[in-house]
Amino acid sequence: MSAGLSNYDWARARQIMPGRRTSGQIISGRMVSGRTVSGMAKQLVAGGLMLLATSACVTAPTPTPTPTPIKLTAVVFAESAESAAHAAKVVRARITHKLPLIDAVGATISEEQLAALSQNDTVSRIVVSTNENGLVAHSAPDEGVTSWLTSSQARNASNPLLLQYMSDAAPSRTGKGVGVAIIDTGLSASPQFASEIPALVGSYNALTGEQGPIDDRTGHGTHLASLLSGFGETFSGIAPQAKIVAIKAFDSEDRASALDIIDAVQWVLNNRARYNIRILNLSVSASTELPYHIDPLNMALTQAWIQGLVVVVSAGNEGPQPSSVTAPGNNPWLITVGAADYSTDGQWRSVAPFSGRGPTDSGHIKPDIVAPGTLLAGLRPAHAIRPEGEPDHFDAQGNWIASGSSQASAVVSGMIAVLLEARPELSNHDVKCLLANTALPLQGSPDGTSSPFSQGRGFINLKAALTSTDVSCEESLEGSDPAVPVKGAYKPS
């Protein structure tokens, strides 16, 4: 399952442009040329203004209890993180995160402080979540995914098929020396291998801001890492000699703050040389209500791409509806991966029904490619607790069999490690184009999964990518300005 099948609540976020206090500058949700276009956004704006109006027009003498001031979670943007921090301090907001990667700070702030901060000319933008728990992601299983998992309990794990694929594509490659950073739920030993943590060379706990324990309380991160490193005698892994760098950004309830994830991305960039990190895997799904170019998490990941990392993200598990791909899978800079399912003949021939579909709100085809993402056996800590309602599925050896676009993105990250081992000179733009240009389109299935909006360019073809020289593609944004939004040609219906 994808860590974060539900949304961190940018869906209710507001973007406030400081300066003049007009309704055109307090907006939320999807925007076109600065104008609100969603009904939800209009309601939020009206609600915010009504709150200010009623607080200023109380005339009844009846005494009422003093309400507890509402504290909001905000991302404050300025010319630099230092400037943003200074502006927040002036209004006495509590700074929780310094985010130099996006020239911002995270803060908890009251409505009164927000009103004052919006008048500060040094502040370029404020994005505010009205969710009482802040900007969060969590892994409540999607109903469609849960139903699919339940119906698939009798099917076998697809690991032997994946091993055969790797043997055919790159029999002598192991991803040796290539660093893969996995921002997820942490990493722990499993019952099968009590002393074994798969290929771990470095770790960071974004919840505490320290390099320390990264105990995995839900098992998601451990499962993804074990797909790369392998385990026991039955599964040798996709990239068993890659360097796994695990970053914990989710708590024991599988909830994550977007601000912690951004901090994790910053840590990866700060330590990329130390661990030779070439690949960043983030299997999280979030709301696409804000356009990708002003969504703080997407902005951080775009910066990671600009600085040279291959950023691999999942398409989410909210398919098969059109435009169900989630953030950051909606970001045209990144490599977005959907989940492919195997058929009775042992071939991956269709897109899993739960895998997120395009087009994105900005008109881009997503995912970029699809990869094995169903019924993959891997490790899970004994103390791990999965969300209520999610069916447990284990093989005869006690390995956890899981499905999701999260697993598919981890598979692709491992294959990219193999590609970069063989061809270390490749840039992230080169990698993206090689995967796109060599992908194998899935052909006419009855459920319409052959559409580019379901599979992108098609099923990953590592064998061809290892030898191809075609590093130009329309998906490449090399040389583009990340501050300028990229418009796609396909608008959602």
97 is an active site residue: no
Please give the structure tokens belonging to residue 211.
Answer: 């390099």
220 is an active site residue: yes
Please give the structure tokens belonging to residue 348.
Answer: 């991956």
Please give the structure tokens belonging to residue 483.
Answer: 């501050």
Cis peptide before 141 (omega within 30 of 0): no
Distance of CA 276 to the CA centre of its chain: 22
Q: Is 372 exposed, middle or buried, given 0-12, 13-18 or 19+ CB atoms closer than 10 A? A: buried
Give the C-alpha separation, 14 to 12, whole Å.
7
Q: Where do the H-state alpha helices sit in 423-461?
A: 428-438, 452-455
Give the C-alpha separation, 417 to 424, whole Å.
9
168 is an active site residue: no
Give the C-alpha separation, 153 to 162, whole Å.
19
Q: Is 446 exposed, middle or buried, given 0-12, 13-18 or 19+ CB atoms closer than 10 A? A: exposed
Active-site annotation holder among 83, 287, 406, 409 = 406
Give the C-alpha separation, 179 to 276, whole Å.
5
SS3 379: coil
Residues 6+ apart with CB under 8 A from 383: 188, 217
Q: Which residue has the tokens 């109006």?
A: 53
Residues 6+ apart with CB under 8 A from 293: 299, 302, 482, 483, 484, 485, 486
Active-site annotation holder among 9, 184, 260, 361 = 184
Pairing of strands 310-314, 335-342: parallel
Q: Nearest CA to 459 among 343, 306, 322?
A: 343
AA letter at 227: L
AA letter at 184: D
Q: Where do the H-state alpha helices sit in 91-169?
A: 111-117, 143-151, 159-169
Active-site annotation holder among 129, 139, 188, 220 = 220
Query: Do residues 136 and 260 lie in contact, with contact meaning Cβ atoms separated by under 8 Å?
Result: no
- Residues annotated as catalytic are 184, 220, 406
